[in-house]
Structure 1
Amino acid sequence: MDYKVKFEGMRVMSLNNKVIVVTGASSGIGALAAQMLSAQGATVVLAARSGEKLKAVSSGMMGPSRILELNVGDDASVEAGFRQIYAEFGRVDCLVNNAGYGKFAYFDDMPLQEFDDMMNVNYMGMVRCTKAVLPHMKDARFGRIVNVASIAGKIGTSKSTSYTATKHAVIGFSSALRQEVREYGITVSTINPGPIDTPFFTLADPEGNYVNNVKWFMMKPERVAKAMVSAVQSGTTEINLPWIAGAGAKLYQMFPRLADRLSYRMLNKK
């Protein structure tokens, strides 16, 4: 494969001429990451449901790109979309599973259908897309899969039972798949960000209460997009953002009862 070496000695894949599919690329961190990947020479396939939004993102790309109207929540849409990609390019070097959404409500108030819909998009959408590329990556004995999860997948908070469950599933899936594909030269990475200043909260928090409470803690989307690009290049196992959230997740795993007691007021801001 085509590699360049960073000064600290870590092997990093050159993105030049790599074919990279980014789902959820019509806005937010998906759009930014796609543009950053393009700037480094990748051929980027922008995948999302809204063709008009994808056209707007594509207009800012520095390198070659393709627009693919794709609904990760639908079997037929994913199958047809990836058939089209392989027919044109013959390969996918990296898949960035970024598509997803959230809604915040107390468990008692969240309809069962919302649990089903959110799991279908956030978790099963990733499974569908990974199913579409993995056999080809195995044949090539190379590939990078980057799954955008959330720090919520490690630390649960009130009013996010459905969303948190989907991100737990993404992290668990990624950890298990990583063990299965190591021998094929395929890496599986997870990106676990805390709150990001993106349109995600338009749906998740329409009244703006949570955003107002955690505004001081929210990250700029560029920071998370850069982490996504870094994972594509390096194949690193996991990136937790910001670092304090990653440290908190480790504390929670080691001392869950203590962490619950200490963090209750700080984390439950929804």
Structure 2
Amino acid sequence: MSQKLNGKKIMVTGATSGIGLYLAIHLAIEGADLYLAARSTKRLEHICKTLKESYGVTAEGYTADLSRDEDWKQVLDQIHTDHGVMDAVINNAGMAVFENVEEAEWEGIEQMLQVNLTSLVRSTHYWLPHFVNKKSGHIVNISSQAAKMATPKSAVYSATKHAVLGFSNALRMEVEKDGVFVTVVNLGPVKTNFFRQADPTGNYEKAVSSLMLDPNRVARIITKNLFTNRREINLPLWMEAGSKVYQLAPSVIEKLFEKQFAKK
């Protein structure tokens, strides 16, 4: 265990499964005190109990529906009241519904906007003045390779992730002078429960199963880069290379990979 994270107060959203769960485990191994937000009270209670018993850290769960801004603001207030200022915030929660825009239900569109973008900006806006005041802190925003290369049936999802990337890049320039780090994590498909909601048919998950990232490895890399000035974490590397080529010749890439892009 390194001393870099020992005793640091870290808030993680979407902490009961996938990357969020593995982040909680890796952070606890490193001695961080954890404040976890997710929708499932029972899962939060079980995870926090296990982390406390296994690693001797503080681990507190907060039930939160990030699609409801006012509710999320109240949870942030409660975390602050209970535990003071965080040292780092990992905005990990995210969701998708893969549909053509014309066929999508507005409820699903609004939920993606709220969970993927509004809640992230809300928590950043909440903690940032405290970070600036104490001249330290780290904001980690989980985005997607979809922020750099959009595909059919993910227009709204891609839009939210484009926004997260742009928000993070601008924010970094604003707070660099104040000793606050901002890292954005752009990921390809990850082997989590994400796709159960995004594509209930299972077709997309099946099509990209061999290419999926291991959430445990992703969490380990994020943990390793906490409290460093890492600008971006881009995984997998081949997809990041593809996104760079796409920026140079988008029309060509869209034509060449039309069938692959339509696998959702």
Match of 2:223 among 226, 229, 250: 229
Q: Which residue of 2 aligns with 1:32?
A: 22
Deviation of 1:265 (Å): 2.2
Q: CA separation in 2, counterparts of 1:111 and 1:147?
A: 26
Listed as ranges, the gaps of 5+ residues in structure 1 are 5-12
Task: Give the stretch that moved more between structures: 205-214 or 251-260.
Answer: 251-260
Match of 2:261 among 242, 261, 267: 267
Q: Which residue of 2 aligns with 1:157?
A: 151
Match of 1:209 among 184, 203, 212: 203
Q: CA separation in 1, counterparts of 2:103 and 2:209?
A: 25
Task: Give the stretch that moved more between structures: 60-69 or 17-26.
Answer: 60-69
Q: Which residue of 2 aligns with 1:198?
A: 192
Calculate the aligned-residue CA RMSD, in Å: 1.5
Q: CA separation in 2, counterparts of 1:24 and 1:97?
A: 8
Deviation of 1:75 (Å): 2.9
Structure 2 counterparts to residues 17-166 of structure 1, below 5 A: 17-61=7-51, 62=55, 63-166=57-160
Q: CA separation in 2, counterparts of 1:179 and 1:106?
A: 35
One-letter identity of the residue aligned with 1:78: W
One-letter identity of the residue aligned with 1:23: T
TM-score by length of 1: 0.91
Deviation of 1:52 (Å): 0.8
Deviation of 1:254 (Å): 1.8
Q: CA separation in 2, counterparts of 1:123 and 1:90?
A: 24
Match of 1:184 among 173, 178, 181: 178
Deviation of 1:227 (Å): 2.5
What secondary structure does 2:7 align onto?
coil
One-letter identity of the residue aligned with 1:19: K
Deviation of 1:223 (Å): 1.6
What secondary structure does 2:50 align onto?
coil
Q: CA separation in 1, counterparts of 2:113 and 2:104?
A: 13
One-letter identity of the residue aligned with 2:170: A
What secondary structure does 1:179 align onto?
helix
Kept in 1, the 8 Å contact 2:11–2:36? The answer is yes
Listed as ranges, the gaps of 5+ residues in structure 2 are none
Residue identity over aligned pairs, in percent, reads: 39
Kept in 1, the 8 Å contact 2:67–2:114? The answer is yes
